[in-house]
């Protein structure tokens, strides 16, 4: 299969998702060694999971398939430029490349506008629309200290 074939599969998933009313118009596939190893479509509304974006669903499936928490030597094909959450998940998964079709501007034109999240990230915590309040830091630091000193940890 070609790169175009992989992208067409991500696009097909996005169209099917709309037609079957599973979630938003987004699809993604993960490819390794020239083969699709995982597929994902947006399942936010059908699964009542705000993190069930196409890329996240595909990453979860690919990691299960590979029995790994990283997508070494994999590529992700997604029907739309990833949102901030998916972008973070993609960076954590560490694929070698990402291909996308629609842009975030295209998504904004159909009311999937993530610009406010990008703007919120840049703000001081006290100026964000969603209130943040720190508490029990000293107690929480115990886990961090334990992790730092752990000799048999699996780093990622």
**Catalytic amino acids?**
55
Sheet holding 97-102, edge to edge: 35-41, 27-32, 74-80, 97-102
In terms of Cα–Cα distance, which of 32, 29, 36 is closest to 73? 32
CA distance 56 to 150: 29
In terms of Cα–Cα distance, which of 75, 16, 67, 74 is closest to 46? 16
In terms of Cα–Cα distance, which of 24, 21, 12 is closest to 56? 24
The answer to whether 31 touches 23, Cβ cutoff 8 Å, is no
- Rounded to the nearest 10°, the torsion over CA 22, 25, 31, 35 is 70
In terms of Cα–Cα distance, which of 98, 143, 114, 137 is closest to 50? 114
């Amino acid at each position: 299969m070609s790169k175009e074939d992989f992208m067409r599969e991500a696009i097909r998933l996005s169209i099917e998702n709309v037609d079957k009313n599973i979630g938003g118009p987004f699809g993604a596939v993960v490819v390794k060694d020239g083969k699709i190893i995982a597929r994902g479509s947006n399942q936010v509304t059908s699964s009542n999971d705000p993190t069930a974006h196409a890329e996240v669903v595909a990453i979860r499936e690919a990691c299960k398939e590979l029995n790994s928490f990283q997508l070494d030597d994999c590529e992700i094909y997604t029907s739309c430029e990833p949102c901030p959450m998916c972008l973070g998940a993609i960076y954590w998964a560490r694929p070698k490349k990402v291909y996308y079709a629609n842009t975030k501007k295209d998504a904004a034109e159909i009311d999937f506008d993530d610009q406010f999240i990008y703007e919120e990230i840049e703000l001081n915590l006290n100026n964000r629309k969603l209130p943040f309040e720190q508490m029990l830091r000293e107690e929480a630091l115990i886990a961090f200290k334990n992790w730092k000193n752990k000799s048999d940890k699996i780093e990622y």
